[in-house]
């Protein structure tokens, strides 16, 4: 589910995957919304029921804590910009007839005055024919054409207790060759590449190369796309890597996105807005067409897939 529902990712094997495309709470005492002055108090104080998404029931505690922290921090930081989730109950959580595949979604659009488009979180659990299960957790943040700043994506794809693929990126929304200031602002000055280098120093971490040329064309040059293989029969080692290395880095990248992209102000001319809107629409359409349109029916059946896709198209 690449980069847009990047967050929901429906794939039967990690080698074909990219995004589906979150219990301890993250400390939020000092976070503030980047759009608090433009939203009514009623929206700011809205309390919505705990989402099924936030259970992340099939992953380890460090994995679950990371995803819960990410979703919680984004919702708190952007609270005055975000509208309540309006997905039907049978789209927020759905499963196939046999109960071997389950998924939960959270989608929150933003108020018109915000530069946030929407946020999207998801988890997918699917039993594998060979035994074991595939678990994918994902979260994405999308911006609208009032800014040209990058989006946010994090996805963890796990097919065994000792193996995981991590995708973490600020996907660019402009051509980095034509706009060197964009490259410097979002990718050089932020030292994002140092975070990738840190992970790749671990002996258990190797670069991950997706077979999708399209996916390779839309990620940034500092994208973290790695496979973590502990090479042992103990799940604890992978859990330690998630807790001690993956989690801190993912939160650092998220903080950069929140401060510099989601809440940063950039001047965008009308002509640029039109180009951004066109590019964003194509990228979202690709997600529906290539990823969800083929994988949802296969995993969940035609009826459930049609129901979920119809709801998502309203957001996209």
140 — phi, psi (to 5°)? -135, 150
User: What's the pLDDT score for residue 139?
Assistant: 97
pLDDT reading at 178 higher than 90? yes
Domain membership of residue 270 as a residue range: 2-22+51-315
User: What's the pLDDT score for residue 32?
Assistant: 39
CATH of the domain at 291: 3.40.1500.20
- Residue 45 domain flag: no
pLDDT tens sequence across 18-62 = 333 322 222 223 333 564 433 333 333 333 445 799 999 999 999
pLDDT tens sequence across 264-310 = 999 999 999 999 999 999 988 887 777 677 788 989 999 999 999 99
- Residue 38 domain flag: no
User: What's the pLDDT score for residue 22?
Assistant: 28
- Residue 17 domain flag: yes
The C-alpha angle 121, 123, 129, rounded to 5 degrees, equals 155
Read off the pLDDT band of 230 (50, 70, 90).
very high
Across 118-144, average pLDDT: 93
- The mean of the pLDDT values for the chain is 84
- Residue 30 domain flag: no
- Residue 250 domain flag: yes
pLDDT reading at 89 higher than 90? yes
Please give the tally of structural domains in the chain.
Answer: 1
* Cα–Cα distances in angstroms (integers) from residue 216 to residues 16, 31, 120, 288, in the given order: 13, 33, 21, 18
Q: Token pair 């198209």 is at which residue?
A: 313
- Residue 43 domain flag: no
User: What's the pLDDT score for residue 284?
Assistant: 84
pLDDT reading at 163 higher than 90? yes
Short-list 10, 50, 266, 305, CA closest to 144: 266
In SS3 terms, the chain reads as CHHHCCCCECCCCHHHCCCECCCCCCCCCCCCCCCHHHCCHHHHCCCCCCCHHHHCCCCCHHHHHHHHHHHHHHHHHCCCCECCCCCCHHHHEEECCCCCEEEEEEEEEECCCCCEEEEEEEEEEEECCCCCEEEEEEEEEEECCCCCCCCEEEEEEEEECCEEEEEEECCCCCCCCCCHHHHHHHHHCCCHHHHHHHHHCCCCEEECCCCCHHHHHHCCCCCEEEEEECCCCCHHHHHHHHHHHHHHHHHHHHHHHHHHHHCCCCCCCHHHHHHHHHHHHHHHHHHHHHHHHHHHHHHHCHHHHHHHHHHHHHHC
- Residue 40 domain flag: no
User: What's the pLDDT score for residue 241?
Assistant: 97
- Residue 44 domain flag: no
- Of residues 19 and 164, the one with the higher pLDDT is 164
Confirm if 309 and 91 have CB atoms less than 8 A apart: no
């Amino acid at each position: 589910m690449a980069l847009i529902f990047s967050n929901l990712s429906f794939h039967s094997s990690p080698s074909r995957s990219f995004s589906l495309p979150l219990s301890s709470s993250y400390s939020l005492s000092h976070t503030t919304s980047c759009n608090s002055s433009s939203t009514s108090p009623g929206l700011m104080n809205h309390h919505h029921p705990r989402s099924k998404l936030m259970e992340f029931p099939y992953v380890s505690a460090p994995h679950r804590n990371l995803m819960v922290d990410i979703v919680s921090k984004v919702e708190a930081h952007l609270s005055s910009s975000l509208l309540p989730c309006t997905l039907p109950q049978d789209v927020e959580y759905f499963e196939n007839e046999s109960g071997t595949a389950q998924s939960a979604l959270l989608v929150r659009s933003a108020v018109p005055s915000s530069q946030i488009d929407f946020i999207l979180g998801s988890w997918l659990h699917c039993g594998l024919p060979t035994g074991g299960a595939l678990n994918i957790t994902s979260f994405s943040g999308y911006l609208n054409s009032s800014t040209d700043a990058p989006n946010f994506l994090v996805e963890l794809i796990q097919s065994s207790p000792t193996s995981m693929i991590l995708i973490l990126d600020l996907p660019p929304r402009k051509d980095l060759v034509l706009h060197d200031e964009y490259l410097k602002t979002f990718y050089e000055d932020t030292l994002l590449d140092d975070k990738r280098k840190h992970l790749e120093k671990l002996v258990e971490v190797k670069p991950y190369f997706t077979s999708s040329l399209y996916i390779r064309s839309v990620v940034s040059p500092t994208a973290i796309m790695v496979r973590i293989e502990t090479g042992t029969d103990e799940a604890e080692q992978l859990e330690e890597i998630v807790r001690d290395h993956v989690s801190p880095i993912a939160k650092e990248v998220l903080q950069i996105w929140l401060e510099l992209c989601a809440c940063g102000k950039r001047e965008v001319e009308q002509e640029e807005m039109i180009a951004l809107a066109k590019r964003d629409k194509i990228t979202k359409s690709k997600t529906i067409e290539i990823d969800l349109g083929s994988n949802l029916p296969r995993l969940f059946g035609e009826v459930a897939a049609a129901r979920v896709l119809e709801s998502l198209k309203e957001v996209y």
